[in-house]
């Protein structure tokens, strides 16, 4: 199967489009701009969702659900918000065969309708904080489709919280950025840079936006999760007010934060290779596949019995598939599972049964170098340890790639060369106009101003002015 996959070096974009479909993650919908998430891709999304949901609940958040349709007047209440989203809105004008008195917006994000509800629910400081997340779909009209990365409809979670003080809201904003960072590193095995968005790149209506930025294998950046400090902008627009401990009416402080099915694309582009997907064991729909091998009919029963025993043992604690498909060679099956990115393959043949051993093949190390024999006894522990090793190895590989494709630059010429191949890291003191000119000339933007700063000060590579912060620039999806 891998023979039919375009190589990453030849055309990364084409490789991505092919692998998403060949690995059965998703397909194009008959509705322009939308996608169909296939069972294998949806299972991967479920594991992403569950890993995040555990973290949200551990930090005190609860799930709720809000309507798909939002009255148009709600978006008009926050001027910067409606201006930012206007080009992407899908609008319903007819319902039940009749023209609607007020047009309805198909949810692009839910700050407005949740703000309306919070204004009803919050009356006193005793009602705060409100820590709610929802799992939902959203619609943002896209002119071009890229499965998982840019589609008109996509799945996500959006957290919306309300607090009594600015300090609490800022603490929440950064806490959730930390949750996203922890998920990306420890579940998706993706090294990310947490940081603040520039004024030009922040969320429409936010006071400040924070992001985790990842580097894909073509050197481009992918915004993988965002957390927004909304200040009192939406509280003012929707009159989210409460009586404080002194019985004085105050405006609440709010936040919002989200991560979407774009994370599936991030996993594909961070770890995949010319043979197909390479999935992190902690999120992979199938962690281990067992492939029994025999050449003579008389060997079949013995090998299958051993394979079934092994499957029964491992499925107690792992997501395991036993491949007993008829009519396919072992080599074809190997290629098929490599395309799907299953982290570990177990091969078992007649000689292995006799010797009470199996052959383990790591997906992250193709060929003979990734193969090792393992004893039949204690295989549960051996496999679990191997999966943990693979999880860490693909993270370290992605981190090494990012570090080798990130350059500290001091001049605009150095900058232009860097962003053609990866990230430019530089002292920055430019204006929004400077940023716009750089984007027009190079297609690169400020991906983030990292939370972790070197300290001290330097000279801005673009303006020559004194700078107190270092920024990460790159081309993005």
Question: Domain 2-271: which topology?
Answer: BirA Bifunctional Protein; domain 2 (3.30.930)
The per-residue pLDDT for 2 is 45
Give pLDDT tens digits for 389-447. 999 999 999 999 999 999 999 999 999 999 999 999 999 999 999 999 999 999 999 99
Which pTM does this prediction carry? 0.95
Q: For residue 178, is pLDDT > 60?
A: yes
Closest alpha carbon to 92 in 79, 83, 80, 101: 101
pLDDT over 90 percentage in the chain: 92
Report residue 400 as tokens: 């090494």
Question: Domain 406-474: which topology?
Answer: Translation Initiation Factor IF3 (3.30.110)
pLDDT category at 81 given cuts 50, 70, 90 is low
Q: For residue 451, is pLDDT > 80?
A: yes
Give pLDDT tens digits for 40-62. 999 999 999 999 999 999 999 99
Rounded Cα distance between 107 and 137, Å, is: 8
Mean pLDDT of the chain: 95
pLDDT category at 1 given cuts 50, 70, 90 is very low
Rounded Cα distance between 24 and 338, Å, is: 13
> 364 with 277: CB under 8 angstroms?
no
* Rounded mean pLDDT, 88-105: 95
pLDDT over 70 percentage in the chain: 98
Selected from 3.30.2130.10, 3.40.50.800, 3.40.50.970, 1.10.287.130, the CATH number assigned to the domain covering 288-389 reads 3.40.50.800
pLDDT category at 295 given cuts 50, 70, 90 is confident
Contacts of 105 by beta carbon, 8 Å cutoff, 6+ apart: 69, 70, 71, 72, 74, 75, 89, 90, 91, 92
Q: For residue 4, is pLDDT > 90?
A: no
Give pLDDT tens digits for 364-373. 998 899 999 9
Measure Cα distances from 235 to 98, 132, 189, 240, 257 in Å: 34, 16, 37, 5, 16
Q: For residue 456, what is the DSSP state?
A: S
* Rounded mean pLDDT, 454-462: 96
> 337 with 323: CB under 8 angstroms?
yes
In our burial notation (b when 16+ CB lie closer than 10 A, e otherwise), range 449-472 reads bbeeeeeeebebbbeeeebebbbb
Better pLDDT: 216 or 1? 216
The per-residue pLDDT for 204 is 87
> 23 with 44: CB under 8 angstroms?
no
* Rounded mean pLDDT, 455-469: 97
Give pLDDT tens digits for 298-353. 888 999 999 999 999 999 999 999 999 998 999 999 999 999 999 999 999 999 99
* Every domain of the chain and the residues it spans: 2-271, 288-389, 406-474
Q: For residue 385, is pLDDT > 90?
A: yes
Better pLDDT: 85 or 228? 228
* Rounded mean pLDDT, 250-277: 98
The per-residue pLDDT for 145 is 83
Q: For residue 241, is pLDDT > 80?
A: yes
């Amino acid at each position: 199967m891998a023979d039919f996959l375009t190589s990453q070096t030849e055309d990364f974009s084409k490789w991505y489009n092919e692998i998403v479909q060949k690995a059965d993650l998703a397909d194009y919908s008959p509705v322009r701009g939308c996608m169909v998430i296939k069972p294998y891709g949806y299972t991967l999304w479920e594991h992403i969702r569950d890993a995040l949901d555990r973290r949200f609940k551990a930090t005190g958040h609860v799930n709720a659900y809000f309507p798909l349709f939002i009255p148009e007047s709600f978006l008009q209440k926050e001027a910067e918000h409606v201006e930012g989203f206007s080009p992407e809105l899908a609008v319903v004008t007819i319902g039940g065969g009749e023209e609607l008195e007020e047009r309805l917006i198909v949810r692009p994000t839910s700050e407005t309708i949740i703000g309306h509800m919070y204004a009803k629910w919050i009356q006193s400081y005793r009602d705060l904080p409100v820590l709610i997340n929802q799992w939902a779909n959203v619609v943002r009209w896209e002119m071009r489709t890229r499965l998982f990365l840019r589609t008109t409809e996509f799945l996500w979670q959006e957290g919306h919280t309300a607090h009594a003080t600015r300090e609490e809201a800022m603490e929440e904003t950064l806490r959730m950025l930390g949750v996203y960072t922890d998920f990306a590193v420890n579940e998706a095995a993706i090294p990310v840079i947490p940081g603040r968005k520039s004024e030009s790149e922040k969320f429409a209506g936010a006071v400040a936006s924070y992001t985790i930025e990842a580097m894909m294998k073509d050197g481009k950046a992918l915004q993988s999760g965002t957390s927004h400090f909304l200040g009192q902008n939406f509280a003012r627009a929707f009159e989210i007010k409460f009586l404080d401990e002194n019985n004085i009416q105050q405006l609440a402080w709010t936040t919002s934060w989200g991560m979407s099915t774009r994370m599936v694309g991030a996993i594909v582009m961070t770890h995949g290779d010319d043979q197909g997907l390479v999935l992190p064991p902690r999120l992979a729909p199938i962690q281990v596949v067992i492939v029994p091998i025999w050449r003579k009919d008389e060997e079949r029963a013995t090998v299958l019995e051993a394979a079934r025993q092994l499957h029964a043992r491992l499925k107690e604690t792992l997501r395991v598939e036993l491949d007993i498909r008829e009519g396919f060679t072992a080599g074809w099956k190997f290629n098929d599972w490599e395309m799907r990115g299953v982290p570990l393959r177990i091969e078992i043949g007649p000689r292995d049964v006799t010797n009470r051993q199996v052959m383990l093949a790591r997906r992250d190390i193709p060929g003979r170098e990734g193969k090792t024999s393992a004893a039949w006894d204690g295989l549960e522990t051996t496999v679990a340890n191997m999966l943990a090793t693979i999880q860490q190895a693909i993270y370290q590989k992605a981190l090494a790639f990012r570090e080798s494709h990130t350059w500290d630059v001091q001049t605009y010429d150095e900058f232009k060369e860097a962003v053609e191949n990866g990230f430019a890291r530089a002292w920055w003191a430019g204006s929004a106009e400077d940023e716009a000119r750089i984007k027009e000339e190079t297609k690169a933007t400020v991906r983030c101003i990292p939370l972790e700063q070197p300290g001290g000060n330097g000279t801005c590579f673009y303006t020559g002015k004194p700078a107190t912060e270092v920024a990460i620039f790159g081309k993005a999806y």
